[in-house]
Amino acid sequence: MLKSPMRTLEPELNAVSTVFVELSVVLGRTNLPIHQLLKMGRGAVIELDAEAEDEVWVLANNVPIARGQITVSGEKIAISITSTVRAFG
């Protein structure tokens, strides 16, 4: 009797379903002198090296996994994935 490929993967998928991954989105970057950073307060604006239409980086545990565009849906901000990064190794 042949086993279904999905049936043999079920235990692995159950184990993976309890693993959490930290996702981050990088909008842009900048360098500031520490004294300028220490003077910042509520409402401070930090200029980044990106334009409004630039794609953002999506990171999983600080590793780039995708590129995307910022979208707004009502009160929520989201990322629409435009491409994925191939894993090396």
Tens of pLDDT, residue by residue over 4-60, are 555 566 666 677 788 899 999 999 999 999 999 999 999 999 999 999 889 999 999
Amino acid present at 82: T
Using pLDDT thresholds of 50, 70 and 90, give the confidence band for residue 88.
low
Q: Supply the DSSP symbol for 4.
A: P
d(CA 13, CA 10): 5
What is 20-84's CATH number? 2.30.330.10
Separation CA 27–CA 79 (nearest Å):
11
